Structure 1
Protein backbone atom coordinates (compact mmCIF):
# COMPACT_ATOMS: atom_id res chain seq x y z
CA UNK A 1 0.00 0.00 0.00
CA UNK A 2 1.41 3.41 -0.95
CA UNK A 3 1.83 6.12 1.68
CA UNK A 4 -1.21 8.37 1.32
CA UNK A 5 -0.36 12.05 1.77
CA UNK A 6 -2.20 15.35 1.97
CA UNK A 7 -0.21 18.48 1.09
CA UNK A 8 -1.38 21.62 2.89
CA UNK A 9 0.37 24.72 1.56
CA UNK A 10 -1.06 28.12 0.62
CA UNK A 11 1.49 28.74 -2.15
CA UNK A 12 0.28 26.98 -5.29
CA UNK A 13 3.83 26.91 -6.64
CA UNK A 14 5.22 25.11 -3.58
CA UNK A 15 2.12 22.91 -3.33
CA UNK A 16 2.54 21.78 -6.93
CA UNK A 17 6.28 21.26 -6.40
CA UNK A 18 5.71 18.80 -3.54
CA UNK A 19 2.84 17.21 -5.43
CA UNK A 20 5.13 16.50 -8.40
CA UNK A 21 7.85 15.04 -6.16
CA UNK A 22 5.52 12.71 -4.31
CA UNK A 23 3.52 11.55 -7.32
CA UNK A 24 6.74 10.40 -8.98
CA UNK A 25 7.41 7.90 -6.17
CA UNK A 26 6.01 4.38 -6.51
CA UNK A 27 5.44 3.98 -2.78
CA UNK A 28 3.61 7.28 -2.31
CA UNK A 29 0.46 8.99 -3.54
CA UNK A 30 -1.09 12.42 -3.01
CA UNK A 31 -4.55 11.89 -1.57
CA UNK A 32 -5.52 15.58 -1.60
CA UNK A 33 -4.25 19.16 -1.70
CA UNK A 34 -5.22 21.96 0.69
CA UNK A 35 -4.56 25.69 0.66
CA UNK A 36 -5.46 26.52 4.27
CA UNK A 37 -5.53 25.03 7.73
CA UNK A 38 -9.31 24.74 7.71
CA UNK A 39 -9.28 22.92 4.38
CA UNK A 40 -6.50 20.65 5.63
CA UNK A 41 -8.50 19.67 8.72
CA UNK A 42 -11.64 19.00 6.68
CA UNK A 43 -9.86 16.82 4.11
CA UNK A 44 -7.70 15.02 6.67
CA UNK A 45 -10.70 13.99 8.78
CA UNK A 46 -12.58 12.88 5.66
CA UNK A 47 -9.79 11.09 3.80
CA UNK A 48 -7.70 9.94 6.80
CA UNK A 49 -4.31 9.92 5.06
CA UNK A 50 -1.18 8.38 6.53
CA UNK A 51 0.67 11.69 6.53
CA UNK A 52 -0.14 15.36 6.13
CA UNK A 53 2.53 17.82 5.04
CA UNK A 54 1.48 21.02 6.79
CA UNK A 55 2.77 24.52 6.11
CA UNK A 56 3.00 26.38 9.42
CA UNK A 57 1.96 29.83 8.21
CA UNK A 58 -1.01 30.03 5.88
CA UNK A 59 -4.07 32.15 6.66
CA UNK A 60 -2.42 33.17 9.93
CA UNK A 61 1.01 32.84 11.52
CA UNK A 62 -0.02 29.65 13.33
CA UNK A 63 -2.71 28.35 10.97
CA UNK A 64 -0.88 25.09 10.30
CA UNK A 65 -0.11 24.48 13.97
CA UNK A 66 -3.75 24.95 14.93
CA UNK A 67 -4.75 22.55 12.15
CA UNK A 68 -2.27 19.91 13.34
CA UNK A 69 -3.66 20.15 16.88
CA UNK A 70 -7.25 19.69 15.64
CA UNK A 71 -6.33 16.73 13.44
CA UNK A 72 -4.16 15.12 16.13
CA UNK A 73 -6.97 15.55 18.66
CA UNK A 74 -9.50 13.67 16.51
CA UNK A 75 -7.31 11.35 14.42
CA UNK A 76 -3.98 10.78 16.25
CA UNK A 77 -3.01 8.09 13.73
CA UNK A 78 -2.57 10.77 11.06
CA UNK A 79 1.09 11.79 11.21
CA UNK A 80 2.02 15.40 10.60
CA UNK A 81 5.20 16.77 9.04
CA UNK A 82 5.71 20.51 9.17
CA UNK A 83 6.72 22.51 6.11
CA UNK A 84 8.81 25.52 7.10
CA UNK A 85 11.22 28.08 5.70
CA UNK A 86 14.08 27.43 8.12
CA UNK A 87 14.86 25.11 11.02
CA UNK A 88 15.25 27.92 13.57
CA UNK A 89 11.65 28.96 13.24
CA UNK A 90 10.41 29.59 16.80
CA UNK A 91 7.04 28.13 15.81
CA UNK A 92 8.61 24.68 15.42
CA UNK A 93 8.39 24.19 19.18
CA UNK A 94 4.66 24.88 19.08
CA UNK A 95 4.27 22.53 16.11
CA UNK A 96 5.89 19.64 18.01
CA UNK A 97 3.69 20.38 21.01
CA UNK A 98 0.64 20.22 18.73
CA UNK A 99 1.63 16.76 17.50
CA UNK A 100 4.04 17.19 14.58
CA UNK A 101 6.60 14.40 14.20
CA UNK A 102 9.17 16.04 11.92
CA UNK A 103 9.78 19.10 9.81
CA UNK A 104 10.89 19.66 6.22
CA UNK A 105 12.72 22.75 5.05
CA UNK A 106 10.98 23.81 1.86
CA UNK A 107 14.31 24.30 0.09
CA UNK A 108 15.73 20.91 1.12
CA UNK A 109 16.89 18.37 -1.44
CA UNK A 110 14.24 16.04 -2.79
CA UNK A 111 16.01 13.09 -1.15
CA UNK A 112 15.66 14.72 2.31
CA UNK A 113 11.94 15.27 1.75
CA UNK A 114 11.31 11.68 0.73
CA UNK A 115 13.47 10.30 3.55
CA UNK A 116 11.45 12.24 6.13
CA UNK A 117 8.13 11.02 4.72
CA UNK A 118 9.24 7.38 4.67
CA UNK A 119 10.77 7.56 8.14
CA UNK A 120 7.65 9.10 9.69
CA UNK A 121 5.35 6.68 7.87
CA UNK A 122 7.29 3.66 9.12
CA UNK A 123 7.78 5.05 12.64
CA UNK A 124 11.54 4.82 12.14
CA UNK A 125 12.32 8.50 12.47
CA UNK A 126 15.57 8.82 14.38
CA UNK A 127 16.00 11.94 16.47
CA UNK A 128 18.88 12.24 18.90
CA UNK A 129 17.46 12.00 22.45
CA UNK A 130 19.02 15.27 23.58
CA UNK A 131 17.42 17.13 20.66
CA UNK A 132 14.05 15.48 21.16
CA UNK A 133 14.12 16.24 24.88
CA UNK A 134 15.11 19.85 24.26
CA UNK A 135 12.34 20.36 21.73
CA UNK A 136 9.65 18.80 23.88
CA UNK A 137 10.87 20.55 27.02
CA UNK A 138 10.83 23.92 25.29
CA UNK A 139 7.45 23.21 23.73
CA UNK A 140 5.97 22.39 27.13
CA UNK A 141 7.59 25.46 28.70
CA UNK A 142 6.16 27.77 26.06
CA UNK A 143 2.70 26.23 26.38
CA UNK A 144 2.78 26.42 30.18
CA UNK A 145 3.93 30.05 30.07
CA UNK A 146 1.13 30.93 27.66
CA UNK A 147 -1.45 29.21 29.86
CA UNK A 148 -0.08 30.95 32.95
CA UNK A 149 -0.13 34.31 31.18
CA UNK A 150 -3.76 33.85 30.16
CA UNK A 151 -4.78 32.95 33.73
CA UNK A 152 -2.94 35.92 35.23
CA UNK A 153 -4.45 38.31 32.69
CA UNK A 154 -7.89 36.92 33.53
CA UNK A 155 -7.33 37.70 37.22
CA UNK A 156 -5.71 41.10 36.60
CA UNK A 157 -8.83 42.22 34.73
CA UNK A 158 -10.64 41.98 38.10
CA UNK A 159 -8.02 43.94 40.04
CA UNK A 160 -8.85 47.49 41.16
CA UNK A 161 -6.46 50.45 40.66
CA UNK A 162 -5.57 50.42 44.36
CA UNK A 163 -4.91 46.68 44.34
CA UNK A 164 -2.82 47.06 41.19
CA UNK A 165 -0.60 49.69 42.84
CA UNK A 166 -0.13 47.50 45.91
CA UNK A 167 0.78 44.50 43.75
CA UNK A 168 3.31 46.61 41.84
CA UNK A 169 4.97 47.84 45.05
CA UNK A 170 5.11 44.30 46.45
CA UNK A 171 6.53 43.12 43.10
CA UNK A 172 9.28 45.75 43.49
CA UNK A 173 10.17 44.36 46.92
CA UNK A 174 8.44 46.77 49.31
CA UNK A 175 7.15 45.47 52.66
CA UNK A 176 3.57 46.00 53.80
CA UNK A 177 4.82 48.72 56.16
CA UNK A 178 6.67 50.49 53.32
CA UNK A 179 3.61 50.23 51.07
CA UNK A 180 1.43 51.73 53.79
CA UNK A 181 3.88 54.60 54.24
CA UNK A 182 3.96 55.32 50.51
CA UNK A 183 0.18 55.25 50.27
CA UNK A 184 -0.31 57.28 53.46
CA UNK A 185 -2.55 54.68 55.09
CA UNK A 186 -2.39 52.30 58.03
CA UNK A 187 -0.68 48.92 57.54
CA UNK A 188 -3.94 47.22 58.52
CA UNK A 189 -5.56 48.85 55.49
CA UNK A 190 -2.89 47.39 53.21
CA UNK A 191 -3.34 43.96 54.77
CA UNK A 192 -7.08 44.22 54.16
CA UNK A 193 -6.42 44.99 50.47
CA UNK A 194 -3.96 42.09 50.32
CA UNK A 195 -6.70 39.76 51.59
CA UNK A 196 -8.86 40.55 48.55
CA UNK A 197 -5.91 40.30 46.17
CA UNK A 198 -5.17 36.79 47.48
CA UNK A 199 -8.82 35.81 47.08
CA UNK A 200 -8.79 36.88 43.43
CA UNK A 201 -5.56 35.00 42.71
CA UNK A 202 -6.67 32.01 44.80
CA UNK A 203 -3.39 32.13 46.72
CA UNK A 204 -2.59 31.89 50.44
CA UNK A 205 0.41 34.20 50.50
CA UNK A 206 1.36 37.38 48.66
CA UNK A 207 4.79 35.96 47.89
CA UNK A 208 3.05 33.26 45.80
CA UNK A 209 1.27 35.95 43.76
CA UNK A 210 4.55 37.78 43.19
CA UNK A 211 6.29 34.54 42.25
CA UNK A 212 3.67 33.84 39.56
CA UNK A 213 4.01 37.36 38.19
CA UNK A 214 7.80 37.17 38.14
CA UNK A 215 7.79 33.81 36.37
CA UNK A 216 6.28 35.49 33.32
CA UNK A 217 7.97 38.89 33.88
CA UNK A 218 4.49 40.42 33.98
CA UNK A 219 5.34 44.10 34.50
CA UNK A 220 8.34 43.97 32.18
CA UNK A 221 6.43 42.14 29.43
CA UNK A 222 3.64 44.72 29.41
CA UNK A 223 5.99 47.69 29.99
CA UNK A 224 4.26 48.59 33.25
CA UNK A 225 7.37 49.55 35.21
Structure 2
Protein backbone atom coordinates (compact mmCIF):
# COMPACT_ATOMS: atom_id res chain seq x y z
CA UNK A 1 0.00 0.00 0.00
CA UNK A 2 1.35 3.41 -0.96
CA UNK A 3 2.25 5.66 1.96
CA UNK A 4 0.07 8.72 2.46
CA UNK A 5 1.69 11.90 1.24
CA UNK A 6 1.78 15.10 3.28
CA UNK A 7 -0.79 17.40 1.66
CA UNK A 8 0.49 20.98 1.67
CA UNK A 9 -1.11 24.30 0.79
CA UNK A 10 1.08 27.34 0.10
CA UNK A 11 -0.20 30.83 0.94
CA UNK A 12 1.67 33.86 -0.38
CA UNK A 13 0.47 36.95 -2.24
CA UNK A 14 3.24 36.54 -4.82
CA UNK A 15 2.41 33.83 -7.32
CA UNK A 16 6.06 33.47 -8.32
CA UNK A 17 6.98 32.58 -4.74
CA UNK A 18 4.15 30.07 -4.54
CA UNK A 19 5.50 28.37 -7.66
CA UNK A 20 9.02 28.45 -6.22
CA UNK A 21 7.93 26.81 -2.95
CA UNK A 22 5.88 24.26 -4.86
CA UNK A 23 8.92 23.31 -6.91
CA UNK A 24 11.01 22.99 -3.75
CA UNK A 25 8.48 20.87 -1.87
CA UNK A 26 7.64 18.70 -4.85
CA UNK A 27 11.21 17.42 -4.83
CA UNK A 28 10.24 15.33 -1.81
CA UNK A 29 8.33 12.15 -2.62
CA UNK A 30 6.59 12.47 0.76
CA UNK A 31 4.97 15.83 -0.02
CA UNK A 32 2.15 16.79 -2.36
CA UNK A 33 1.25 20.45 -2.93
CA UNK A 34 -2.54 20.44 -3.24
CA UNK A 35 -3.25 24.16 -3.54
CA UNK A 36 -1.97 27.73 -3.46
CA UNK A 37 -3.72 30.81 -2.09
CA UNK A 38 -2.77 34.45 -2.45
CA UNK A 39 -4.60 36.18 0.41
CA UNK A 40 -6.12 35.40 3.78
CA UNK A 41 -9.64 34.92 2.44
CA UNK A 42 -8.50 32.39 -0.16
CA UNK A 43 -6.48 30.59 2.50
CA UNK A 44 -9.52 30.22 4.75
CA UNK A 45 -11.82 29.11 1.94
CA UNK A 46 -9.39 26.57 0.46
CA UNK A 47 -8.57 25.23 3.92
CA UNK A 48 -12.24 24.53 4.47
CA UNK A 49 -12.57 22.79 1.11
CA UNK A 50 -9.32 20.82 1.06
CA UNK A 51 -8.24 20.55 4.71
CA UNK A 52 -4.53 20.12 3.94
CA UNK A 53 -2.18 18.55 6.45
CA UNK A 54 0.23 21.49 6.49
CA UNK A 55 -0.06 25.13 5.40
CA UNK A 56 2.89 27.38 4.62
CA UNK A 57 1.46 30.80 5.53
CA UNK A 58 2.87 34.21 4.65
CA UNK A 59 2.15 36.89 7.28
CA UNK A 60 1.79 40.11 5.31
CA UNK A 61 -0.54 39.93 2.30
CA UNK A 62 -3.64 42.07 1.80
CA UNK A 63 -2.93 43.53 5.25
CA UNK A 64 -0.01 43.48 7.68
CA UNK A 65 -1.47 40.65 9.73
CA UNK A 66 -3.53 38.81 7.12
CA UNK A 67 -1.59 35.58 7.65
CA UNK A 68 -1.99 35.74 11.42
CA UNK A 69 -5.71 36.43 11.14
CA UNK A 70 -6.14 33.57 8.66
CA UNK A 71 -4.12 31.24 10.90
CA UNK A 72 -6.33 31.99 13.88
CA UNK A 73 -9.56 31.47 11.94
CA UNK A 74 -8.41 28.29 10.20
CA UNK A 75 -7.23 26.63 13.40
CA UNK A 76 -10.42 27.61 15.19
CA UNK A 77 -12.34 25.38 12.76
CA UNK A 78 -9.65 22.86 11.82
CA UNK A 79 -7.29 22.46 14.77
CA UNK A 80 -5.56 19.41 13.28
CA UNK A 81 -4.07 21.44 10.42
CA UNK A 82 -0.44 22.37 11.04
CA UNK A 83 0.47 25.92 10.02
CA UNK A 84 4.06 27.01 9.41
CA UNK A 85 4.65 30.73 9.05
CA UNK A 86 6.68 32.05 6.12
CA UNK A 87 8.68 35.11 7.14
CA UNK A 88 11.31 37.36 5.59
CA UNK A 89 13.29 37.91 8.79
CA UNK A 90 13.22 36.59 12.35
CA UNK A 91 11.33 39.39 14.08
CA UNK A 92 10.51 38.07 17.55
CA UNK A 93 7.30 40.02 18.06
CA UNK A 94 5.73 38.99 14.75
CA UNK A 95 6.75 35.39 15.26
CA UNK A 96 5.33 35.43 18.79
CA UNK A 97 2.06 36.81 17.43
CA UNK A 98 1.96 33.99 14.88
CA UNK A 99 2.51 31.37 17.56
CA UNK A 100 -0.15 33.04 19.68
CA UNK A 101 -2.57 32.55 16.77
CA UNK A 102 -1.72 28.84 16.72
CA UNK A 103 1.16 28.40 14.27
CA UNK A 104 3.42 25.46 15.13
CA UNK A 105 6.64 26.69 13.52
CA UNK A 106 8.14 29.24 11.16
CA UNK A 107 10.61 29.11 8.27
CA UNK A 108 12.52 31.90 6.59
CA UNK A 109 11.68 32.56 2.95
CA UNK A 110 15.41 32.42 2.29
CA UNK A 111 15.75 28.95 3.83
CA UNK A 112 17.44 26.22 1.83
CA UNK A 113 15.18 23.74 0.03
CA UNK A 114 16.26 21.03 2.47
CA UNK A 115 15.36 23.22 5.46
CA UNK A 116 11.93 24.05 4.03
CA UNK A 117 11.13 20.40 3.30
CA UNK A 118 12.35 19.42 6.76
CA UNK A 119 10.19 22.11 8.39
CA UNK A 120 7.06 20.82 6.64
CA UNK A 121 7.80 17.24 7.67
CA UNK A 122 8.52 18.24 11.26
CA UNK A 123 5.24 20.13 11.45
CA UNK A 124 3.29 17.18 10.08
CA UNK A 125 4.90 14.65 12.43
CA UNK A 126 4.71 17.09 15.38
CA UNK A 127 8.45 17.17 15.90
CA UNK A 128 10.26 20.27 17.14
CA UNK A 129 13.69 19.14 16.10
CA UNK A 130 14.86 22.39 14.50
CA UNK A 131 14.44 24.74 17.47
CA UNK A 132 13.21 22.75 20.48
CA UNK A 133 14.47 25.32 22.98
CA UNK A 134 12.63 28.11 21.17
CA UNK A 135 9.41 26.09 20.97
CA UNK A 136 9.58 25.27 24.68
CA UNK A 137 10.25 28.89 25.59
CA UNK A 138 7.33 30.08 23.47
CA UNK A 139 4.88 27.61 25.00
CA UNK A 140 5.82 28.74 28.50
CA UNK A 141 5.65 32.41 27.54
CA UNK A 142 2.20 32.12 26.00
CA UNK A 143 0.84 30.41 29.09
CA UNK A 144 2.28 33.20 31.22
CA UNK A 145 0.86 36.05 29.16
CA UNK A 146 -2.51 34.51 28.32
CA UNK A 147 -4.40 36.84 30.65
CA UNK A 148 -1.93 39.72 30.62
CA UNK A 149 -3.74 42.43 28.64
CA UNK A 150 -0.81 44.82 28.89
CA UNK A 151 1.65 42.56 27.07
CA UNK A 152 2.83 43.47 23.61
CA UNK A 153 2.15 39.99 22.25
CA UNK A 154 -1.41 39.95 23.55
CA UNK A 155 -1.98 43.45 22.18
CA UNK A 156 -0.72 42.40 18.73
CA UNK A 157 -3.07 39.44 18.85
CA UNK A 158 -6.05 41.71 19.61
CA UNK A 159 -5.11 44.44 17.13
CA UNK A 160 -4.95 41.93 14.27
CA UNK A 161 -8.63 41.20 14.95
CA UNK A 162 -9.48 44.77 13.93
CA UNK A 163 -10.41 45.65 10.36
CA UNK A 164 -8.03 47.85 8.34
CA UNK A 165 -10.36 50.82 8.90
CA UNK A 166 -10.46 50.22 12.65
CA UNK A 167 -6.66 49.97 12.81
CA UNK A 168 -6.31 53.22 10.84
CA UNK A 169 -8.68 54.97 13.24
CA UNK A 170 -6.78 53.61 16.24
CA UNK A 171 -3.52 54.87 14.75
CA UNK A 172 -5.04 58.30 14.08
CA UNK A 173 -6.27 58.53 17.68
CA UNK A 174 -2.81 57.53 18.88
CA UNK A 175 -1.37 60.40 16.81
CA UNK A 176 -3.56 62.81 18.78
CA UNK A 177 -6.34 63.43 16.27
CA UNK A 178 -9.86 63.77 17.69
CA UNK A 179 -12.88 61.93 16.34
CA UNK A 180 -14.27 64.96 14.49
CA UNK A 181 -10.98 65.45 12.66
CA UNK A 182 -10.86 61.77 11.68
CA UNK A 183 -14.44 61.97 10.39
CA UNK A 184 -13.50 64.89 8.14
CA UNK A 185 -10.37 63.17 6.83
CA UNK A 186 -12.11 59.86 6.14
CA UNK A 187 -15.40 61.41 4.94
CA UNK A 188 -17.51 59.44 7.41
CA UNK A 189 -20.47 60.44 9.55
CA UNK A 190 -20.13 60.76 13.36
CA UNK A 191 -22.56 57.87 13.84
CA UNK A 192 -20.28 55.66 11.70
CA UNK A 193 -17.30 56.76 13.77
CA UNK A 194 -19.15 55.79 16.95
CA UNK A 195 -19.78 52.33 15.50
CA UNK A 196 -16.08 51.93 14.67
CA UNK A 197 -15.09 53.07 18.15
CA UNK A 198 -17.55 50.67 19.75
CA UNK A 199 -16.16 47.79 17.69
CA UNK A 200 -12.57 48.69 18.58
CA UNK A 201 -13.37 48.81 22.30
CA UNK A 202 -15.18 45.48 22.15
CA UNK A 203 -12.46 43.67 20.20
CA UNK A 204 -9.73 45.08 22.44
CA UNK A 205 -11.69 43.92 25.51
CA UNK A 206 -11.72 47.32 27.22
CA UNK A 207 -14.39 49.61 28.70
CA UNK A 208 -13.75 52.68 26.56
CA UNK A 209 -11.48 54.02 23.83
CA UNK A 210 -9.28 55.81 26.37
CA UNK A 211 -8.46 52.48 28.00
CA UNK A 212 -7.74 50.99 24.57
CA UNK A 213 -5.26 53.76 23.77
CA UNK A 214 -3.63 53.36 27.18
CA UNK A 215 -3.28 49.59 26.68
CA UNK A 216 -1.83 49.89 23.19
CA UNK A 217 0.55 52.71 24.07
CA UNK A 218 1.81 51.06 27.27
CA UNK A 219 2.49 47.84 25.40
CA UNK A 220 4.79 49.64 22.97
CA UNK A 221 2.77 48.38 20.02
CA UNK A 222 3.15 51.44 17.80
CA UNK A 223 6.86 51.72 18.60
CA UNK A 224 7.52 48.18 17.42
CA UNK A 225 5.25 48.50 14.40
CA UNK A 226 7.25 51.57 13.33
CA UNK A 227 10.46 49.54 13.68
CA UNK A 228 9.05 46.75 11.52
CA UNK A 229 7.90 49.26 8.89
CA UNK A 230 11.36 50.87 8.83
CA UNK A 231 13.02 47.49 8.31
CA UNK A 232 10.70 46.67 5.44
CA UNK A 233 11.39 50.01 3.76
CA UNK A 234 15.13 49.45 4.08
CA UNK A 235 15.02 45.94 2.61
TM > 0.5: yes
Cα displacement string for residues 129-149 of structure 1 (whole angstroms, at most 9, x for unaligned residues): 652344342674434446699
1:154 paired to 2:164? no
Report the aligned-residue RMSD.
2.9
Deviations, residues 73-114 of structure 1 (Å, cap 9, x unaligned): 000000000000011253111100001011110011111101
d(CA) in 1 for partners of 2:127, 2:74: 22
**2:152 maps to which of 126, 142, 145:** 142
For residues 31 and 218 of structure 2, what CA distance do their matches in structure 1 show? 48
Alignment of 1:23 with 2:26, yes or no, is yes
Is 1:48 matched up with 2:51? yes
Count of aligned pairs between the two proteins? 165
Aligned pairs for 1:80-119 (under 5 A) are 80-88=83-91, 90-119=93-122
The residue that corresponds to 1:60 in the other structure is 63
| Larger RCO (CA under 8 A, 6+ residues apart) | 2
Distance (whole Å) between structure 2 residues aligned to residue 97 and residue 214 of structure 1: 18
**Structure 2 unmatched ranges of 5 or more:** 160-200, 224-235
Q: Which residue of 2 aligns with 1:184?
A: none
1:153–1:217 CA distance, 2 compared to 1 (3 A): farther
Q: CA deviation at 1:124?
A: 1.5
Q: Distance in 2 between matches of 1:48 and 1:4?
A: 9
C-alpha separation between the residues in 1 aligned to 2:13 and 2:114? 23
Any idea what SS the aligned residue of 2:62 has?
coil
* Contact 1:82/1:103, CA 8 A, preserved across alignment: yes
Deviations 1:174-222 (A, max 9, x none): xxxxxxxxxxxxxxxxxxxxxxxxxxxxxxxxxxxxxxx699639xx89
C-alpha contact (below 8 Å) 1:145/1:216 kept by paired residues: no
Select the structure of larger CA radius of gyration: 1
Measure, in 2, the Cα distance between the counterparts of 1:107 and 1:126. 19
Deviation at 1:59, TM superposition (A): 0.4
Q: TM-score, normalised by structure 1?
A: 0.64
- Does structure 2 conserve the Cα–Cα contact (< 8 Å) formed by 1:54 and 1:80? yes
Report the Cα distance in structure 1 between the residues aligned to 2:33 and 2:72, rounded to whole angstroms. 21
Long gaps (5+) in structure 1: 158-212
Task: Name which of 67, 78, 81 aligns with 2:81.
Answer: 78
Q: TM-score scaled by structure 2?
A: 0.62
Change (3 A) 1:135 1:142: farther
